[in-house]
């Protein structure tokens, strides 16, 4: 049993290198530990000295399945799922990028000297996800890599149903139907490949609302237009 901040957090079952930890009795046994009435943790994991595999009690496929030789590739993810906040460098979640809209608003770029909204052209945005937030509201996120004071940020763009066809039309043809279908039914979210993400220019203004959750605050842009950019031949590594 592993604890986080004084409470049970997850179960780790150590097995011999010859043991199967993908399925079967070993996985079933670890699951039984996780759901025990005196334990009740969301994650159960197995390690046979060759790889680490982690399951969520309410999901089918594993959330982590990685050889120990490659565990460094996803260490921020492991720390994010299982680590205490005190283990986060400077208290910042691993892989966290500050919000671009909030940073620009704090720097005074939401309005001009006359109090009028300023339009922004955000180029080279590597798309992360697009989701239907609620009826009449969609949201696309992406990573922006710039220069100067605004270096690397996560940017969020809200838009209405009228702009959805334009957004989909600017995606590569092999993505359009999949995005359209996912946004029409649960879970209403499409995650783009981060090894070769679509790249767009998005035009919009910084919105008025700042949203806050347990880990961050962010201020979405209100998107007005989308323009597809060529895919880079050698895209930067995913964060």
97-144 pLDDT tens trace: 889 999 888 888 888 888 899 999 999 999 999 999 999 999 999 999
- Rounded distance, CA 46 to CA 13, Å? 5
Confidence at residue 223, expressed as pLDDT on a 0 to 100 scale = 97
Q: pLDDT-based confidence at 236, cuts 50/70/90?
A: low
Confidence at residue 238, expressed as pLDDT on a 0 to 100 scale = 47
Tell me: pLDDT of 95 over 80: no
* Lowest-pLDDT range of 2-16, 21-35, 80-94: 80-94
Instruction: Count how many Cα atoms sit within 13 Å of the Cα of residue 2 in the half-sphere of its side chain.
Output: 16
User: Residue 218: is it exposed, middle or buried by C-beta count within 10 angstroms (0-12/13-18/19+)?
Assistant: buried
Confidence at residue 79, expressed as pLDDT on a 0 to 100 scale = 84
Mean pLDDT, rounded, for 79-108? 80
Q: Is 122 helix (H, G, I), strand (E, B) or coil?
A: strand
Mean pLDDT, rounded, for 204-208? 95
Instruction: Count how many Cα atoms sit within 13 Å of the Cα of residue 157 in the half-sphere of its side chain.
Output: 30
Of 166 and 60, the structure prediction assigns the larger pLDDT to 166
Cite the DSSP H helix spans in the chain.
25-34, 75-82, 100-106, 164-169, 173-182
In sequence order, the 6+-apart residues with CB closer than 8 A to the CB of 21 are 15, 27, 46, 47, 48, 51, 53
Confidence at residue 148, expressed as pLDDT on a 0 to 100 scale = 52
Angstrom CA distances, 104 to 98, 113, 125, 149, stand at 11, 15, 16, 10
- Rounded distance, CA 33 to CA 113, Å? 61
Cross-strand partners of 47: 14, 52
Strands (E) across 25-118 are located at 43-47, 51-56, 64-67
Of 94 and 129, the structure prediction assigns the larger pLDDT to 129
- Rounded distance, CA 84 to CA 46, Å? 20
User: What percentage of the chain reaches a pLDDT higher than 70?
Assistant: 92
User: What percentage of the chain reaches a pLDDT higher than 90?
Assistant: 60
Of 218 and 151, the structure prediction assigns the larger pLDDT to 218
Tell me the average pLDDT of the chain.
88
- Rounded distance, CA 97 to CA 30, Å? 34
Tell me: pLDDT of 2 over 70: yes
Tell me: pLDDT of 70 over 50: yes
Q: pLDDT-based confidence at 239, cuts 50/70/90?
A: very low
- Rounded distance, CA 104 to CA 153, Å? 11
| CATH numbers and ranges of domains, the chain | 2-91 (no CATH), 100-229 (2.40.50.140)
Q: Are strands 152-159 and 221-229 parallel, antiparallel or unpaired?
A: parallel
Tell me: pLDDT of 172 over 50: yes
pLDDT tens digits, one per residue of 56-68: 988 778 989 999 9
């Amino acid at each position: 049993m592993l604890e986080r901040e004084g409470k049970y957090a997850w179960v780790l079952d150590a097995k011999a290198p010859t043991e199967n930890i993908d399925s079967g009795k070993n996985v079933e046994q670890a699951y039984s530990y996780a759901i025990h009435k005196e334990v009740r943790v969301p994650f159960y994991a197995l390690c046979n000295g060759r790889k680490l595999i982690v399951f969520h009690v309410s999901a089918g496929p594993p959330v982590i399945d990685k050889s120990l030789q490659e565990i460094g590739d996803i260490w921020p993810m492991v720390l994010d799922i299982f680590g205490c906040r005190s283990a986060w460098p400077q208290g910042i979640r691993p892989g966290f990028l500050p919000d671009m809209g909030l940073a620009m608003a704090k720097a005074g770029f939401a309005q001009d000297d006359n109090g009028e909204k300023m339009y922004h052209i955000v180029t080279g945005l590597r798309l992360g996800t697009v989701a239907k937030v609620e009826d009449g509201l969609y949201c696309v996120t992406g990573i922006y890599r710039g220069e100067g004071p605004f270096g690397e940020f996560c940017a969020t763009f809200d838009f209405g149903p009228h702009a959805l066809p334009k957004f989909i039309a600017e995606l590569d043809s092999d993505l359009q139907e999949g995005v359209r279908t996912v946004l029409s039914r649960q879970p209403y979210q499409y995650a783009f490949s981060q090894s070769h993400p679509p790249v767009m220019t998005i035009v919009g203004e910084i919105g008025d609302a700042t949203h806050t959750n347990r880990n961050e605050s962010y201020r979405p842009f209100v998107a007005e237009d989308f323009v597809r950019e060529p895919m880079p031949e050698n895209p930067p590594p995913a964060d």
